[in-house]
Structure 1
């Protein structure tokens, strides 16, 4: 039997593209409220050509953790980060990125293993506006209250970013409930490397990608993906920090 490998590969690629297109990376906070950087001093803005593209969290004066899908199409030399400011386009400290380490098993179609480490060219000066955050060692439980922050528009179909940092209070839902939501109809798997939230019409969305989900001052999640923004039956999905804690720590100092 003669196998048309070109056709098979093309069909597989088309399937992956369709799956990725239905899973939207997150660019904004829906129905968020203004928060001072003093209350989220680990929050940073990842920027390319002086434009905000993603969020991130400060792990040390020279190390940022973010989502791997944020770094897929850019080189380290193209990135800079802004820390210590309420605004993504002014204030605080700006430092260039030296090196990017993406999780080697990141899947751009399913958003599995959506985590990356950025090493900076210079150390940030820590102060009350710029502080590192500890990684959670245990994943949050169903019903736990968490907070997400980032810059961006406040409506699902808007492309305008908020110039000021926003946050929203959310609630953790079980992986089982998340899997049985609208994602079940679309056969979207929620793995052990993911956690989900609901928020009474509040949500992270495209551009908040890579930003922090926090509980009790510890990083429990990284903004990853979802279908739409704050849509009924489609919870927000985050990278489960506790699941990747060892990988993050082992690559933090490399």
Structure 2
């Protein structure tokens, strides 16, 4: 299927978030340092963090469409090189951004967005590009996720320091069966992962899911946080339409 693309600035979407579309965050993880995961970026609006992203070129970030579909590029700042959100690090304005025309807020199908900075990032110890996956993954493999989101489902505020957790990939059929109980469809653009009470949670949306130093997923949604019966759902980088969309955007 061929996707058509348009600038987010031109898109008008009127939908409401359901329970399973809550922004995601890190649960059951530990604090870490940006120097270990220098590809991590935060998205800011009016000076406040709202979603995560990853650095895929010096001038491009990868995030989730549901984070930015209702925002204008000129409203956003991308922050890199920080462990604590209170640090300044490197901040870049967003020149433009794209989401797939096929993005569907319910249930976050094709949940991917590419942002272009006004000025390239300066690479170093705390700021580095993460390569996108080129091979498939299978159930049972483990992915690492980082973020500044909430550390429990009932937490009142998100974390200010970077957290990380390792989750295990779950087969698509099994995940689809589990989410069928909540009338949520798992599509070919999605992959699922969880590990007991370990999960991403509110505020971690858009964060990369990484295996062996390569990005395989983007934090998308879940039903609650750290619930064994509902694994986290991620946008699948190896889906051909998702992958083609990303490369078409960064190639200009």
Distance 1:161 1:167 in 2: 14
**Unpaired runs of at least 5, structure 2:** 1-12
**Unpaired runs of at least 5, structure 1:** 1-12
Query: Given that residues 151 and 164 in structure 1 are in contact (C-alpha distance below 8 angstroms), is that contact kept between their aligned partners in structure 2?
Result: yes
Distance 2:185 2:134 in 1: 23
CA deviation string 1:185-232 (max 9, x = no partner): 122111111000011201101210000100000000000001111112
Q: After the TM superposition, which segments of 4 or more aligned residues of structure 1 sit over 3 Å from their partners?
A: none
| 2:159 maps to 1:168 | no
Distance 1:89 1:45 in 2: 11
| 2:238 maps to 1:246 | no
- 2:220 alignment counterpart: 224
Query: Given that residues 150 and 202 in structure 2 are in contact (C-alpha distance below 8 angstroms), is that contact kept between their aligned partners in structure 1?
Result: no
Stretch of structure 1 that moved more, 26-35 or 115-124: 26-35
| 2:155 maps to 1:158 | yes
CA deviation string 1:77-98 (max 9, x = no partner): 1100110110123131011111
- Could you tell me which of 38, 42, 54 is aligned with 1:41? 38
C-alpha displacement of 1:246: 1.7
Distance 1:79 1:194 in 2: 26
TM-score, structure 2 as length reference:
0.91
How many residue pairs get aligned? The number is 238
| SS of equivalent to 2:35 | helix
C-alpha displacement of 1:70: 0.4
Larger Rg: 1
Query: Given that residues 57 and 133 in structure 1 are in contact (C-alpha distance below 8 angstroms), is that contact kept between their aligned partners in structure 2?
Result: yes
Structure with greater helix share of residues: 1
- 2:85 alignment counterpart: 88
- 1:51 alignment counterpart: 48
C-alpha displacement of 1:22: 2.5
